[in-house]
Amino acid sequence: MVVIDAFTESIDAVRNNPILVAVPILLVLAMIPFGIVAAIGQIIFFIFSFFWMLLNIAFFTYAIGGLLGMCNEALDGSTSLSTFLDEGKANFVDVFVIALVSWVVLFAISVMAQLFGSIALLGTLDSGSSESFVTFIMSMILAYWFIVGLYMIFGFIFQFVYAATVVDDSSVGSSFSRSYRVVKNNILSTIGYDIVGGIVYFVSMIGTVLVVSLVMSQVDPSPLLALFAFLVTLLIAAVVVPVLSTFHIAFYRRASESIERSETES
C-alpha cells in the first residue's frame, strides 16, 4: 500500500503543479546548443565540449536539488520555480559531494575488478595452457558480474541519499546513513517501489525509442518528422521525470515515517 499510495500521491501532486514539467523541458532544451556547436566543426566542438561538460555538471547538480525540492513542496500543496532556484542553491554542495563520493566508490569497484582480471590474465600468460585460458574467461565473467552485483547493491541501498539531503536537510554522511536505514526497514516496499518506477521508466523509454526509430528508419526523414520525434521525446520527459521524481520523494517520506513510528513505539 505504501508504494501505491506514494505513486498516487505523486501523480496528484504533478497534476496540481504543472510547473513541474518546466524543469525537464529546460533540461532537454539545454542540450540543443551542444548539437549546434557539434555541427560547426570538430576543433570548436572539442574546445566547447570541455566547458560544456563543466556547465552540465554544475547545471544538473543544481537541477537535482532544485527539482527534488519542488517535488517535496508539491506534495504539501503548491510549488514554484522560485523553489527550484532556492533548493538548487541550498543543496548544491551536498548534492555535488554525494555524486562525487558515489563516483569514487563505483570507480574503486571497477578498479578492483580490473585488477582481478589483470591477475587472471597474467596467470594465463604464464601457464599458456588451454585450461588456464578457460580459467581466465571464467574469471573475467565473474569479475563482470561482481561489478554489476556491487553496483546494484550500492544503488539499491543508497538510492534515497539525495532525497534525504533535500527532505531532511541532512549532511552528506547522514544522508547515506538515512538512506540505508530507510531501505533496511522497508526492504519489500523498496523493492516494490523500484519495480513500479522501473515499469514506468521502461514503458516511457519504449515509447521514445519506437517513435525515434520510426523517424530514423525513413530514407530521408523530413525536418517535420525530426521535429515530431523531438517533441515526443520532450513531452515524455516532461511527464515522466516529474512523476518519477515526485514518486521518489513521496515514497521516501512515507518510508521515513514508518521508521520514526517504530522508533517512537520502541
Instruction: Give pLDDT, residue 70.
Output: 95
Query: Residue 59: its pLDDT value, please?
Result: 83
What pLDDT sits at residue 223?
A: 75
CA distance linking residue 211 with residue 223, whole number of Å: 15
What pLDDT does residue 168 have?
A: 92
pTM comes to 0.83
Distance in angstroms (rounded) separating the CA atoms of residues 200 and 204: 6
Query: What pLDDT, on the 0 to 100 scale, is given for residue 114?
Result: 72
Q: For position 182, what pLDDT does the model report?
A: 93
pLDDT digits (tens, 9 = 90+) for 25-34: 877 777 676 6
Q: Specify burial of residue 22 (Cβ count, 10 A radius: 0-12, 13-18, 19+).
A: middle
Q: Give the residue ranges of the chain where pLDDT is below 70.
A: 31, 33-50, 52, 117-136, 139, 218-221, 260-266
- The span from the CA of 172 to the CA of 44, in Å, is 38
Secondary structure, 3-state, the chain: CHHHHHHHHHHHHHHHCHHHHHHHHHHHHCCHHHHHHHHHCHHHHHHHHHHHHHHHHHHHHHHHHHHHHHHHHHCCCCCCHHHHHHHHHHCHHHHHHHHHHHHHHHHHHHHHHHHHHHHHHHHHHHHCCHHHHHHHHHHHHHHHHHHHHHHHHHHHHCCCHHHHHHHHCCCHHHHHHHHHHHHHHCHHHHHHHHHHHHHHHHHHHHHHHHHHHHHHCCCCCCHHHHHHHHHHHHHHHHHHHHHHHHHHHHHHHHHHHHHHHHHHHC
Q: What is the pLDDT of residue 142?
A: 73
pLDDT value at residue 246 = 96
